[in-house]
């Protein structure tokens, strides 16, 4: 192993020695630019097609079923999934990802309209011919196998085009369901506060919301919480807001939402002796909660 490392070092020095300075400069800039642009989401056609995660047609359906199994088990409310059924509903999804998130499934199952707010989504890419063939067609087949409804692919796809719409916060209201998955943890407190205030304005009085939030390190310093609690929570973090479960709860309540359930799906016990003092006011539950479902309506 040591031999390989030594050889690699020798090769690297040789390469640097033989490369003109302008080429080294270009390469450094390229790497820097990549790591910076990597902080935002790349939903270009090439990147979507290369992403196993996004092209998996079953994962969103399976996720929905799994989440509600957990939610119903943990709350004992066996009617919760039914309250979130899509039929006839006006749905809003925050940060849906590149392929309209739960939208096409909701539309297939009879949703009235699905609105999304996703800064990185490029609509012409999502509705391109290649994704029609490689994502929406297999998704349709999967949905037909699971639900066997009387709807052709062209009807389904036309509905996806006409009913999955970008959100216009000034002109859309009367929303019944608000959804997000792995999004709130990326939004800094001030933005989250104004966003939730907007979400309150667009909701009808019986609206329900479900936000699944991943409080983990997102890979930084390892899986789970990685090195997250070893650093100060005032350190600038380009991708995470570093808010915890109680902060999100407070933000929801302060913006006029009721909190029916705050369900800890996944957690990990952390060692309080190893955390930076900036985290010490948080309770064990708030620090240990890794994936949480926030569910409620309007106050
Ligand atoms: C981890 S991805 C989750 C995508 C998708 N919901 C999923 O589960 O695969 C986070 C998403 O949140 C979006 N996002 C980040 N900040 C946002 C904001 N202020 N408003 C709406 N979406 C945002 C990103 O563009 C990205 O698509």
Q: State in Å: Cα 214 to ligand 1 middle.
A: 12
Residues 29 and 162 placed together within one structural domain of the fold: no
Residue 81 lies in a domain: yes
Residues 217 and 284 placed together within one structural domain of the fold: yes
Residue 185 lies in a domain: yes
Top mutation candidate among 97, 99, 101, 210 for ligand 1, by most atoms within 8 Å of CB = 97
In terms of pLDDT, which residue wins out, 13 or 90?
A: 90
Q: Quick check: 105 pLDDT over 60?
A: yes
CA distance 131 to 122: 12
CA distance 86 to 67: 15
Please tell me if the CB atom of residue 186 comes closer than 6 angstroms to any atom of ligand 1.
yes
Average pLDDT, the chain: 90
Residue 272, domain CATH: 3.40.50.150
Please tell me if the CB atom of residue 219 comes closer than 6 angstroms to any atom of ligand 1.
no
Residues 276 and 132 placed together within one structural domain of the fold: yes
Percent of the chain with pLDDT over 90: 84
Q: State in Å: Cα 43 to ligand 1 middle.
A: 11
Residue span of the structural domain in which 33 resides: 2-38
DSSP category for residue 124: H
Residues 71 and 18 placed together within one structural domain of the fold: no
* Least confident among 19-33, 50-64, 77-91, 109-123: 19-33
Residue 238 lies in a domain: yes
Residues 12 and 159 placed together within one structural domain of the fold: no
Q: Quick check: 25 pLDDT over 80?
A: no
Q: State in Å: Cα 79 to ligand 1 middle.
A: 28
Residue 159 · residue 73 · CB < 8 Å: no
Residues 30 and 96 placed together within one structural domain of the fold: no
Residues 16 and 93 placed together within one structural domain of the fold: no
Residue nearest to atom 1 of ligand 1 (CA): 182
Residues 19 and 136 placed together within one structural domain of the fold: no
Reported as a single tens digit per residue, the pLDDT across 128-154 is 999 999 999 999 999 999 998 999 999
CA dihedral (173, 195, 58, 133) in degrees, to 10, reads 70
pLDDT confidence of residue 236: 81
Beta-bridge mates of residue 291: 214, 266
Residues 8 and 108 placed together within one structural domain of the fold: no
Please tell me if the CB atom of residue 54 comes closer than 6 angstroms to any atom of ligand 1.
no
Q: Quick check: 32 pLDDT over 50?
A: no
State how many domains the chain has.
2
pLDDT confidence of residue 16: 52
pLDDT band per the 50, 70, 90 thresholds, residue 36: very low
Q: Is 145 helix (H, G, I), strand (E, B) or coil?
A: helix
pTM score, whole prediction:
0.87
């Amino acid at each position: 192993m040591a031999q390989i490392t030594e050889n690699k070092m020798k090769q690297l020095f040789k390469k640097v020695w033989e490369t003109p300075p302008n080429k080294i400069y270009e390469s450094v800039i390229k790497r820097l630019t990549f790591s910076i642009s990597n902080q935002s989401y790349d939903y270009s056609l090439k990147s979507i097609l290369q992403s196993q995660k996004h092209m998996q047609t079953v994962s969103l359906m399976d996720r929905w079923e799994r989440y509600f199994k957990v939610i119903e088990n943990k709350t004992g409310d066996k009617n919760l999934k039914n309250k979130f059924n899509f039929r006839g509903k006006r749905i809003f999804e925050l940060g849906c990802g590149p392929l309209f998130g739960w939208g096409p499934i909701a539309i297939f199952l009879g949703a009235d309209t699905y609105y999304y707010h996703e800064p990185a989504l490029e609509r012409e890419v999502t509705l391109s011919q290649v994704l029609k063939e490689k994502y929406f067609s297999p998704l349709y087949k999967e949905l037909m196998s699971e639900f066997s409804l009387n709807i052709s692919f062209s009807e389904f796809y036309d509905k996806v085009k006409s009913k999955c719409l970008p959100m216009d916060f000034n002109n859309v209201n009367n929303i019944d369901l608000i959804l997000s998955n792995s999004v709130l943890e990326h939004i800094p407190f001030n933005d989250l506060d104004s966003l939730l205030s907007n979400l309150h304005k667009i909701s009808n009085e019986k609206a329900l919301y479900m936000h699944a939030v991943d409080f983990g390190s997102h890979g930084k310093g390892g899986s789970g919480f990685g090195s997250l609690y070893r650093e100060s929570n005032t350190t600038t973090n380009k991708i995470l807001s570093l808010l915890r479960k109680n902060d999100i709860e407070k933000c929801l309540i302060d913006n006029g939402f009721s909190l029916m359930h705050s369900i800890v799906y996944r957690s990990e016990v952390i060692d309080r002796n190893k955390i930076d003092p900036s985290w010490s006011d948080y309770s064990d539950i708030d620090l240990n909660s890794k994936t949480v479902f926030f569910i409620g309506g309007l106050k």
